[in-house]
Amino acid sequence: MNIVDRFIAYTKINTTTDREKGAAGIMPSSEGQRVLAKQLVQELEALGLTDIKLRDTAIVTATLPSNLDYDVPAVAFFGHLDTSAEQTNDTHAQILPYTGDDICMNKELGIYLRKSEFPELADYLGDDIIVTDGTSLLGADDKAAIASIMDMLQYFKQNPQIKHGTVKVGFVPDEEQGLRGAKVFDVKEFGADFAYTLDCCGIGELVYENWNAGDAEIVFTGKSAHPMSAKGKLKNSLLMAHKFIAMLPGGEAPEYTEGREGYYWVKQLSGNSARTVLKMDVRDFTETGYQSRMAFLKQLAEQCDALWGEGSVAISLADRYSNVFNSLQGKNGYPVDIAKAAYRACGIEPKVIPMRGGYDGAALSQNGLPCPNIFTGAHNFHSIYEYLPVKSLYAASDVLKNVVTLTASRFKPGV
């Protein structure tokens, strides 16, 4: 099966993450993820991989044994099974040629991928582009990764004369809910020495730096009263929450920041005059900046509690994941070097970017498996305008093949 057919087949399985079930601790949060996991197990078996495991959590792992007569570090590749909950409809993918005009995704609904909104389309003039009909996500985040990984495995199985070390693969659920699958992944049992996720961006982009990320939940407790006799009695928790938000640093929000600028994201506010809950995300690329932000929120909550009366404000802070950059320094820097060499072997100059988000590699790296992030070739993740140039999909798989062969040659005795 060619890589495009694989990808299209995977998009037909609805694997939308279920936030409610995820919040309840259920993994996988959606049955479609289990369906895809079972299909991948069947494909891995057909390819003749070994040590294939499907866990109750829908985590899938497998091994392509080395055909070398010397030892090299075992490399692993990861993709995630779920797609984001921004859209829940089934995907109807279509392959359209890009001729330079706006791409009509759905004539009946008037949905177009417009070059004025997405000028990077010009880079793919003459290429075929995979899009949806505008009623769903495409799911290249992260099914393009899964297709690339499976295509790479098929290549080595069909070409046994090509030398390679041990290659391991992992497919995990619920990445779109705080890297849940990667966080419970047993790195020690897996047995890889280094790894790559494919969960990023356009062709050539390479990530080995992302957020230090945390969560904040602030509970405001007021006093309810009937408005007819509320004077001096009503203590409105909703207004307390709004005043708290107004005291956050101006301009330090996602809509005002870029590059390596951190932020506070007011993400959810719910309640009534008696009790209101505010949920926030905290993000910063540096450890000191992250700790400073978390300390600021704690101090602000304590000061507001003193101002509005003891028991008025309670805050809970939790770490979500760390910057993967911290895990790819010194002796653990070689996965980045190999990735860059693999890009160049494919005629692709690496474009190193900081990732303003999280990916499974952050959790894996934190647990002892150094893990940069390779491109899938797709654009506009989490949007109905998500699209995947076909040549970029092939390029992603080619990079993986070169990572494997370069690992075999880099660690060859005497080299």
Cα–Cα distance measured from residue 203 to residue 140, given in angstroms and rounded to the nearest whole number:
13
Residue 92 marked as a ligand binder: no
Cα–Cα distance measured from residue 341 to residue 349, given in angstroms and rounded to the nearest whole number:
9
Cα–Cα distance measured from residue 414 to residue 24, given in angstroms and rounded to the nearest whole number:
53
Cα–Cα distance measured from residue 182 to residue 362, given in angstroms and rounded to the nearest whole number:
9
Question: Catalytic positions, please?
Answer: 82, 175
Residue 319 marked as a ligand binder: no
Residue 142 marked as a ligand binder: no
Helix or strand (DSSP H, E) at 323: none
Crossing angle for the helix pair 390-410 and 334-345, nearest 10 degrees? 120
Crossing angle for the helix pair 31-47 and 140-158, nearest 10 degrees? 10
Residue 176 marked as a ligand binder: yes
Please state, in angstroms and as integers, the Cα–Cα distance from residue 51 to each residue in 191, 224, 276, 404, 411, following that order.
11, 60, 50, 19, 24
Residue 382 marked as a ligand binder: yes
Length of the chain measured in residues: 415
Residue 243's nearest CA partner among 165, 301, 161, 160 is 301
What is the DSSP code (8-state) at residue 2? -
**Positions at the binding site for Zn(2+):** 80, 141, 176, 199, 382
**Positions at the binding site:** 80, 141, 176, 199, 382
